[in-house]
Amino acid sequence: MRQFASSGFRLWNLGIEAKILYTTFCVLTLCGIVSSALYYGDLVGAGTGGIKSYYAGEAKPAPAVPAPAAGAPPSGPAIDVPEDEPGRPPIVVPMTYRKLLEVTHFHLFTMPVVLLIIGHLFLATGLGDRGKLLWLIGASSSVAAHLATPWIVRYGGGGLAFLHAITGTTLTVTMSVLTLYPVVAMWRTKPSARTPPEA
């Protein structure tokens, strides 16, 4: 921690042990970001229809099931299930206040900690101050907005589902940059130590 407190500290000055530790943390964090995006996509589906259904309880169209080919043998046992009424949407229930509070509570304790750690690593890169400021504002804003949008969609209506999709995309992009750039910076050769090109 003493290294991070010094004003001239850069990630490429770390010892090999620290580089391995921080690289592992960043790689696992990136895996977490990717798995969140995959889980979210699987959970709510493509587009904003899944978001509307999941948070606001607004029905999304059921996926089309292809009819079996004429004369094809049945693929399994026949089950006698009453037919759905045509045009009747499936029953969906909006997320309850308690469930929304539970999800928010968990994410409020994890997302800021991850942002703090990778933000500190990002600050120790050689990127210019303006670039650091812009990426950190973007990441901080997208984390805060993405934590708020489930509430907005739940109580403001499914028409606002696009906000959750936008904040999820910006969160994925900004957190990925804050995670990957420090790994590149810590393993590269110190800029001033590079051998100048021969004349």
pLDDT (tens, 9 = 90+) of the chain, 199 residues, equals: 555 555 567 788 888 998 999 999 999 999 988 888 777 766 555 567 777 777 777 765 555 556 666 666 666 666 666 666 666 666 667 788 999 999 899 899 999 999 999 999 999 998 999 999 999 999 999 999 999 999 998 898 888 888 988 998 999 999 999 999 999 998 886 655 444 444 4
Q: Is 162 exposed, middle or buried (0-12, 13-18, 19+ CB in 10 A)?
A: middle
Model confidence, pTM: 0.70
User: Which pair of structure tokens corresponds to residue 46?
Assistant: 């493509």
Q: Where are the domains of the chain?
A: 13-59+89-189
Q: Is 174 exposed, middle or buried (0-12, 13-18, 19+ CB in 10 A)?
A: buried
CA pair distance 165, 153, nearest whole angstrom: 11
